[in-house]
Every structure is written in C-alpha cells, then in structure tokens.
Amino acid sequence: MNRRSLLKNSAALGFAAALPTMASAKLFASAGAGQMQSGTSNPTAKSNPLTPPPNGSIPIAFPISEGTQLIDFAGPWEIFDGVVRPGTTGEAAFEVYTVAERLKPISASGMKIVPDYTFETAPKPKLIVIPAQGGATTSMLDWIRTSSKNTDLTMSVCTGAFVLARTGLLSGKSATTFHQAFDNFEKLFPDIKLIRGARFVEDGNVASSGGLTSGMDLAFRVVERYFGRELTEKLAFQLEYQGKGWMSADSNEVYAKFQNPMAAANGPVCPVCGMAALSSISSTYKGKTYYFCMQADKVTFDDSPEEFVKPA
C-alpha cells in the first residue's frame, strides 16, 4: 500500500475526525493557498502561493545520478506522493517520477534505483526536486535549465544546491545548502547570496533547502503553497511528522554561525559538494591536487573541472 492509499483509507475509517485542527470529518477538505508566517526579512519570508491546475496531477521530476543521497529525494517523494487532490476521493495531487541520463540502476546511499525516464523521454515537469548527488552531468544541467523554463518551481535539497547553482538558475538570487558546505558554496558561487541558518529559501521560481531532512520541510512548504496550511497540517499529522520547520524558514538558525571543522583544520574539502574529502580519491588539475568525498564527485569534476575551480 502506498502512502496516498494509506491516507485515503485513514480518512475512510474516520481517523480524520480525531484531528484537533479539523473542522469536519473529511481529511482533505478543499483549502485555499496558505501564507507563510515569519518574522524574517530574507526571501524565506515571502508569502508566495502556487496555483494548482484545475484538474489532473502536478508532475514532479527528481533528477538523479550516482551518489544520490537517498533521504534527499525519498523524504520529499513520500510527502508529495501522499497528497490527495482536494475535492476528490483519492486522486493524486502530484505525479512523482525519477529521471536520469540512462535507465541503468544508480546507487543512492547504497540502494539501487532504476530511473523511470531518461532526459529525452521524461514528461515535462511542473516541479523539479534536485537531491544531493555526485554524478550530475552536463546533460542533467541542460535538462534542468531547459525544463525550468516551464516549471512552477525548481528546488534543491542539501548539496543539490551545487547542482542547481551550476545551471545558472540561482545567479543573482538567494539560496541555502547543507551547513557543512556553506564556505565552499560561497567560494564557488560568489554571485549567489548564501542564507546561513535558513531551513529553506524561496526566491522567485527557485527554492533551496538545508541538509537532508530540511528537504522534507521544503516539500511540506510547497504543498502549502499549492493547497494551503490546513491541508498541509492534516497531511503532516497523518504522516506522523511532528517537525514544524516547514512553518518557519528560520528554524535552522542553530546552523547560522556553523564553522566547518575540516575547513578550520585545513583538511581536504570536496570541490564538488563541499563535504569533507577522502585522501584516497583525487584528481590533478593545472598542477593542483583536488580530493573528493566519493568517486562520483571525482567523475563529475573530471568532466568539467573549470566549473569547480575559481581563479585565485
């Protein structure tokens, strides 16, 4: 049974009546687009509703490659997949699918995943979710860049912000990423305003989240932007998700002044994702040796090293 079926059945069994915030016994009553309440002055504070189509599901693409961080896309995937379209008896509000350069299995945190589509065959998405990964190729960047011309939103999770930044879609905008990658992100992308201590950042038709579980909060926030606060609270309740980060983008403030201990100790840092690197995985470019946290990052670097090495 998938998550959406579980939620549908829960409503049918009357579990919805137990929800303290519900005005009726219907789990997914129709709701208008909600507004973010936050006292921050950065781009995370804007009330920015999205308009769902009058009928049908909203297609969401998850571009993946070798070294994809499983929780970065599995968490948001389950959230989007659990949304029932308001006013229906079980119609999916979102259509989720993976897309990659080839249909060969890729490794995501040790799990093998077979992509649903290639970049040539994938349906046109209205949302793109970019997880942290080490094998983002030029083909992936081109696909994200082209597809984003027609998306409601393109979002990154964790160091997926590095992939999004490489497309140029974040240039001149604000973003966030995994706290251990703050320093390297600023060095690589000086034209992007890094917001430290934000659970997520929204700027125009792009958004980014902090590390790992932060992507789940950004996913809840996106659901709220489409279908409102009330529906999203009920969804979180049914998923037994007690985090409140999606209601306050400033909830990662504890990381605002984080200093990377590896950087402080002058240890090797992966130029692709900003994480602590391994001395056993390296490449040499223009006489300098670079170290990586995984083999997939080395492959990405070797494909276009000029993207990760900024002039001194």
Residues 290 and 224 placed together within one structural domain of the fold: no
When mean pLDDT is compared across 22-31, 42-51, 110-119, the lowest value belongs to 22-31
Residues 226 and 296 placed together within one structural domain of the fold: no
143 belongs to a structural domain: yes
What pairs with residue 278 in β-bridges?
Answer: 292
Q: Has residue 10 got a pLDDT over 90? A: no
Q: What's the pLDDT score for residue 295?
A: 82
Q: Has residue 36 got a pLDDT over 50? A: no
* Final residue in a domain of this structure, among 221, 237, 255: 255
Q: Has residue 261 got a pLDDT over 70? A: no
Domain count, the chain: 2
Residues 131 and 195 placed together within one structural domain of the fold: yes
Residues 210 and 232 placed together within one structural domain of the fold: yes
The conformation of residue 204, written as its DSSP 8-state character, comes to T
Residues 291 and 145 placed together within one structural domain of the fold: no
How many Cα atoms within 13 Å fall on the side-chain side of residue 31?
A: 26
Q: What's the pLDDT score for residue 296?
A: 77
Residues 183 and 241 placed together within one structural domain of the fold: yes
Instruction: Retrieve residue 85's tokens.
Output: 């379209």
- pLDDT 10s digits, 63-96: 999 999 999 999 999 999 999 999 998 999 999 9
Domain that holds residue 300: 261-307
Residues 95 and 213 placed together within one structural domain of the fold: yes
Residue 29: pLDDT band with limits 50, 70, 90: very low
The conformation of residue 68, written as its DSSP 8-state character, comes to B
* Final residue in a domain of this structure, among 220, 235, 255: 255
* Final residue in a domain of this structure, among 214, 229, 255: 255
From 77, 72, 85, select the one nearest 61 (Cα to Cα). 77
Q: What's the pLDDT score for residue 47?
A: 62
225 belongs to a structural domain: yes
32 belongs to a structural domain: no
